Amino acid sequence: KMAAIGPYTEKLFSLIVKNNRQYWAQPIKGILSLAKKYPEKVIEASCKRAYFYKVKSYQIVKNICGSGAYLLPVEEVGHEYAKVKA
């Protein structure tokens, strides 16, 4: 089902399973449930952002969808984070 949404959604699935072999089902179910509220392209773009930053949390993917952060270039957020962290 994740692959049907898009390649980054599938990559995020693999990342979640790889890093949490026992408890991967809940975040995956949560991400799939986002299709009730958001179009697949929004979920895919949000998963792309999450994958880039190695985020494995359903809640963060949901927040990316809801806030519109999926519209921002991935690098832009990385630079802002680097400035704040420095």
Q: Domain boundaries in the chain? A: 2-85
Token pair listed for 29: 């179910």
Conformation bin of residue 57: beta by default, left when phi > 0, alpha when psi is -120 to 50: beta
pLDDT at 29: 93
User: What is the per-residue pLDDT for 19?
Assistant: 84
Residue 21: the pLDDT is 78
* Separation between Cα atoms, residue 52 and residue 45, nearest integer Å: 11
pLDDT score, position 83: 46
CB 46 within 8 A of CB 65: yes
Residues making up the chain, counted from first to last: 86
Q: Which residues of the chain have pLDDT under 50?
A: 78-79, 81-86
Please tell me the predicted confidence (pLDDT) of residue 76.
53
